[in-house]
Each structure stands twice: as structure tokens, then as C-alpha cells.
Amino acid sequence: MTQPRKRSARSTGSSDRAASKPAGNSTRSTAQRRASRPSPAQLARSAVEQLTEISGVEAESISGLERSEDGWLVRVEVVEVRRIPDATSVMASYQVEVDDDGVLQSYRRAHRYYRNQAGEV
């Protein structure tokens, strides 16, 4: 029985190719980096989940989403005080900032209002 021949690094050319490639993620293209990032919808959901976890408020809806220099601004409408009838519940609009990966950077309450108040028309 004969032993299989060992291939040298020269015969496969693998060491030449490995040596010429830069290490790390620097070889990833811009399209690949974008594809691995969360979608705007996923970022908005992430902002709501993190706001709820930190503040304990119940999110009612997402009323805005816009790109900022450092990530995304998400406007979240929440129920701060639930009342009967529901039209008198106290609502608040929070501005939540997340980075491009969906990690919470900051949040603040922009304003409070009663549910039955007409906003911008």
C-alpha cells in the first residue's frame, strides 16, 4: 500500500493567496456590510423593545423613522397613563435614537397629550 503524496504549499498556491489577502473584515465590500445590517423596520422594532425594557412604558405605535448622522431616530407613541374611558388616557411621544446596528443610544420624551386630542391635521 502506498502513502498519498503530500502537496506542498507551492503546488496548491494557497500560501501565496493567503499572504496577499489583508486580515480582518477589511475585505468585506460595502454591499456586504449593508446586507448584514438590520432593515429600517427591524431597527424601529428594536428601538421599541429597548424603550419598553428601560422605561416600562407600553408602546402604542411607531409614528416616525428617519436617518440621522449617527444612526436612526424613531418616534414612538406610548401609553403613559391608562384611563377609562380610553380617550382620556395620557399618551407620550418619545424620540429614540439607535445606531446602525439597532443598539439604543438615547431616548427622551418629546411631549405628552391626551389620546382624544387632535394633533397635527
Instruction: Give the tens place of pLDDT for each residue, 82-109.
Output: 999 999 999 999 999 999 999 999 999 9
The three cell numbers of residue 68 are: 440621522
In this prediction, residue 36 carries a pLDDT of 82
The CATH code of the domain at 38-114 is 3.10.450
pLDDT tens for each residue of 33-77: 666 889 999 999 999 999 999 999 989 999 999 999 999 999 999
The letter for the amino acid at 115 is R
Where along the chain do its domains lie? 38-114
Q: Is the peptide bond before 85 cis (omega within 30 degrees of 0)?
A: yes
pTM of the model: 0.68
Per DSSP (E only), the strands in 58-103 are: 58-67, 72-81, 90-98
Higher pLDDT, 22 or 29: 29
